[in-house]
Structure 1
Amino acid sequence: MKVDNSMINRETILHEINNLLINFGFKTSNIYERSCFDILARKKDILIILKILVNIDSLTTQQAEELSKISGTFLASPIIIGLKSKHSYLEDDVVYERHEIPAVSPQTLYDIIANDMHPEILSKRGGFYVKINGGLLKQLREEKNLSLKELADLTHVSRETIYKYEQQNSQAYPETALLLEEILNKPITLSINILESEHNHILDTKIQEPIELIKLGYEVNSSTKTPFDAVSTRTDDSKEVLKLKEQLSEKIDEIEKIKEKLAKKTVNNEILITNLERNRNISTLSKIAEKTNDISSITGHKALFVLKHEHEQNSIKNIPVIYTWELDNMEKNKDLEKLIKERENEGE
């Protein structure tokens, strides 16, 4: 696929991206144009949240914050797809950033999804940069019996710069990286996999409703720019996670093993996509249910309604309805899990 930049109709781009993902094995959500994201897509363990824009500079700070937090909560990778910035069209095979979220052109996304070709160039203030594989650089330099200064002289940079490259504390201009590769006769740059973004921000706006759910050990975090009201998370192992994080910072040599343990603990947290009554009638709740069902199917997380008033129904569009008085009578979260399962079975 070769994307024509004259095609600046956002709706067309949305559907082209959606078709691209489906054609290459992704399960995609509906399109949510008035949300902080437009499309959710999953393929095996990859979950991405996309925001489609013509001009990537039109992303607001509030949208970016909410997109970042939703991605962190769902362990997903947020990606902005756009055609241009306020200064120029986006170049292909280059990763831009807006509010610390990666932004790429539709063609770049196509190359990643269809051809497994990940970009190596990062656009930042001051120009284009690449990431150097510091360990490999040091190994190749030592194999050629070159000192830091000798390699620095050959590439017209300082000794300190080469040292920073080897410690992976600095990014290089593409021209410098190319010169290093010519001298060492081997590729030394790292690709940028935007499908594996390490986004750590999570929803942090705690709300005090429904109190009955909170009493069962769930933390309810509001989401204002999404098709659902909140995300409820049960994290019984929070102390263990904090301990792992401390070990992670203290024991650099064990960082990969600890990351794996931390990831497993995080994945095991139970997330409930939560919708509240908030004086809405059944017709409105049904419309919300349609969107929530879609998002639940993509993320793999269960959804529920927590309602205060009796509506004589145990589910809305197959999403379990739990009443606050029922939550109030529960002593542990296992009781909630059991009731959700019963309501799911009734809905089927």
Structure 2
Amino acid sequence: MSYERLLQRVTSILIMAGYAVSERCGMRPRSFDLIARRDDEILIIRAVVHIDSMSEEIAHELAAIAHFLKGKPLVVGEKARDAELERGAVYLRYGIVSTSAMTLYDLFVEEIPPLVYAQPGGLYVNINGELLRTLREECNMSLGDLASALGVSRRTISKYESGMGTTLDIACRMEEIFDTALVEAIDPLSHPNPFEDGNEERSAEILPGFGRIGVEYFSTRNAPFEGLAFYGDDTILTSYGPAQKVMRRAALIANLSNITNSRAVCVIKGYNKQKRIGIALIIGESKFDSLESGSDLINLIDD
């Protein structure tokens, strides 16, 4: 499947599932392709045919943008290594959940969550350890008895009962022994964002002046906006540069701002007017320099 067809399929699935979907991000390189929102749930989505082709830099920025927009990063692809992604399985790339379009369809449209996760060595599942212990004790089976039946060690059985995952084959054999479902569904959107692992970073502002007015900043390299600005609980998508560059991206930035319930401001070098493209405010550098506080910026955008 081509990238274009994959992106079209992902967009269709999201719309069927009731998400509002942004315009696509067509720049290269790009850290994400789409942003989707359903109620308070925001997805920052990267579509890539071969999930192994996503670089660590792109993954880091994807995770960071999702973190700052209070969303979930998600990679949708078709292949990993030399094989098709398994339907109903989730994969991790640089700590970000990756899955196939059909698994996405099952999850969002059919409301059938995946059961399997891929790790080096094969496919694994999570089992209900407390239920396993209860069933084993009800059947008067010792740890050793169950270990012998499954061909594993007593210590491994103890770890299963404490919540350790197991292979799909072992899980199926346990379910046959006890005639009870033990495999637990996976919620891909509950997986922790790798950017949040002690990495609450901000970065140098691309537009001088945010620090002066008490606004924090995170700069991006592979997004339509140059960065994300923060003032209190408010998030602002920002763009800065010559008119041709900024105007080319302003409509998309406004669309992304609308989807994410954030604000947007585009600052143009040598520009002396003030206008709007969608909900994005377009101002010149001199107007921005006249602001005295983050509150002035918020009020200007909302005026």
TM range (shorter): 0.7 to 0.9
Q: Does the aligned pair in 2 maintain the 1:76–1:199 contact within 8 Å?
A: no
Identify which of 110, 117, 124 aligns with 2:112: 117
Q: TM-score, normalised by structure 2?
A: 0.88
Partner of residue 43, structure 1: 38
Identify which of 226, 231, 235 aligns with 1:234: 231
Q: Distance between the aligned counterparts of 1:95 and 1:116, measured in 2?
A: 15
Instruction: Summarize the alignment of residues 1-348 of structure 1 with structure 2, pairs less than 5 Å apart.
Output: 8-33=1-26, 34=28, 35-168=30-163, 170-201=164-195, 204=201, 206-235=203-232, 269-276=233-240, 278=241, 280-281=242-243, 283-307=244-268, 309-321=270-282, 330=291, 332-342=293-303
Q: Does the aligned pair in 1 maintain the 2:17–2:109 contact within 8 Å?
A: yes
Change (3 A) 1:150 1:218: farther
1:109-160 Cα deviation digits (max 9, x unpaired): 1111211111111111111111122333334434444443333333322221
Q: Distance between the aligned counterparts of 1:209 and 1:52, measured in 2?
A: 27
Q: Distance between the aligned counterparts of 2:136 and 2:168, measured in 1?
A: 19
Note the C-alpha offset of 1:208. 3.6
Runs of at least 5 residues in structure 1 that lack an aligned partner in the other structure = 1-7, 236-268, 343-348
Aligned letter for 2:237? Answer: I
Partner of residue 259, structure 1: none
Q: Distance between the aligned counterparts of 1:204 and 1:142, measured in 2?
A: 49
Q: Distance between the aligned counterparts of 1:337 and 1:183, measured in 2?
A: 62
Partner of residue 258, structure 1: none
Q: Distance between the aligned counterparts of 1:136 and 1:297, measured in 2?
A: 45
Q: Distance between the aligned counterparts of 1:135 and 1:15, measured in 2?
A: 42
1:280-337 Cα deviation digits (max 9, x unpaired): 12x4322211110111121111111245644222434541245555555555433332
Q: TM-score, normalised by structure 1?
A: 0.77
1:264-283 Cα deviation digits (max 9, x unpaired): xxxxx32111112x3x12x4
Change (3 A) 1:302 1:141: farther
- Residue aligned with 1:115, SS: coil
Q: Does the aligned pair in 2 maintain the 1:210–1:324 contact within 8 Å?
A: no
Q: Does the aligned pair in 2 maintain the 1:10–1:53 contact within 8 Å?
A: yes
Greater alpha carbon shift after TM alignment, 172-181 vs 303-312: 303-312
Of Structure 1 and Structure 2, the greater helix share is in: 1
Change (3 A) 1:146 1:27: same
Change (3 A) 1:294 1:230: same
Q: Does the aligned pair in 1 maintain the 2:205–2:219 contact within 8 Å?
A: no
Aligned letter for 2:62? Answer: L
Change (3 A) 1:145 1:80: same
